[in-house]
Structure 1
Amino acid sequence: MMTRMNVSEMEPKSYEILLAMEKYLATTDLSHRLRELIKIRASQINKCAYCLEMHTKDARENGETEQRIYALSAWEESPLFTDAERSALHFTEQITEISKQGVTDEVYENLKKHFTEQQIAQMIIAIGQINFWNRIAVSTRMVH
């Protein structure tokens, strides 16, 4: 598969903004571990090989276990994830697939048991950001 185009070369100012958002997200109250789980799960749903390769590597380098990475696509059945992580992963799935049913009250209320409103707002931004990256990578056929 060949890359169709290089968005960063075509739109360098846009890329600067996206990278600035990544720097901001690194300063939020969301743990690095949770941010990587969100990025990997959204990328699995979006079938973004480029982002999956990048974020599974980043997750491992920052202490995430192989077992949890392998089990992430089946997080609902795996005992390896905390209740807070499960709520964030469910939220990630519903935002990533928002056209299916939106975000249900049940998922949102469960999320509020584990995260502050500030953290939920940060999570919405983080989920939107990885979905945007996935759309760039998939539509342009970025190769890892």
Structure 2
Amino acid sequence: MTQRLNYIQQSPELFKAYLNFSNAIDGGAIERSLLDLVSIRASQLNGCAFCLDMHVKEAKLHGERELRVYHVAIWRESTLFSPRERAVLEWTETLTQLPPHGVPDDVYERVRAQLSEKELSDLTFAVMGINGWNRANVAFRTVPGSADKAFGLDKAGLE
């Protein structure tokens, strides 16, 4: 895979603003372990190799169990996720692949049963955030692992 262009160099002001947005999400109501699941699942659905590679490594550095990372793609069938985690993954999938008529009421009610209004709002911004990163990295074919040293991801020991 060859990167088409470096959007960070081409639009540094916009990159910095979007990075600030993402950093604000990290300080919100959704715990880090859930944000890792959101980033992994959205990146899988969007086919974003760069982001999937990055977030799997981050999850490992944050202490996530390897088998759970493998099971994110099959979360509905897996017994490794709590009801709260399942709700987060369902919301991530629904917002990443919006149905033609919007978010169904039953999905909203299931997710709302597990999250406060503040958490649901913050989760929505987290899904928006990773979907934006996915789109930029897919569009410009950012090479997986190309920023490992810069982000300290080489310490994950995944190669």
* TM-score relative to the length of structure 1: 0.97
Give 1:23 deviation, angstroms: 1.4
- Give the drift of 1:100: 4.5
2:43 counterpart residue number: 43
Superposed, 1:13-92 pairs within 5 Å as 13-92=13-92
Report the AA paired with residue 69 of structure 1: V
Shift of 1:131: 0.3
Mapped to 2, the partners of 1:52 and 1:101 lie a distance apart of 28
* Structure 1: gaps (5+ residues): none
In terms of fraction of residues, the more helix-rich structure is 1
Structure-2 change in CA distance of 1:89 and 1:3 (3 Å): same
Shift of 1:103: 1.4
Q: Does the Cα contact within 8 Å between 1:94 and 1:101 map onto a contact in 2? A: no
The alpha-carbon deviation at position 32 of structure 1 amounts to: 0.2
Partner of 2:142: 142
Q: Distance in 2 between matches of 1:143 and 1:32?
A: 25
| Counterparts of residues 104-123 of structure 1 (less than 5 Å) | 104-123=104-123
Aligned-residue sequence identity (percent) comes to 37
Letter of the 2:55 partner, please give it. H
Gapped runs of 5+ residues in structure 2? Answer: 145-159
Q: Which position in structure 2 is the counterpart of 1:11?
A: 11
AA aligned to 2:126 is A
Q: Is the 8 A contact 1:40 1:55 kept in 2?
A: yes
Contact kept, 8 Å, 1:28 with 1:122, in 2: the verdict is yes
Q: CA deviation at 1:76?
A: 0.1
Residue aligned with 2:38, SS? helix
Measure, in 1, the Cα distance between the counterparts of 2:19 and 2:136. Answer: 13
Counterpart Cα distance in 1 of 2:72 and 2:101? 22
Distance in 2 (alpha carbons) for counterparts of 1:49 and 1:98: 21
Counterpart Cα distance in 2 of 1:137 and 1:107: 29
What is the TM-score with the length of structure 2 in the denominator?
A: 0.88
How large is the Cα RMSD of the aligned pairs?
A: 0.9
2:152 alignment counterpart? none
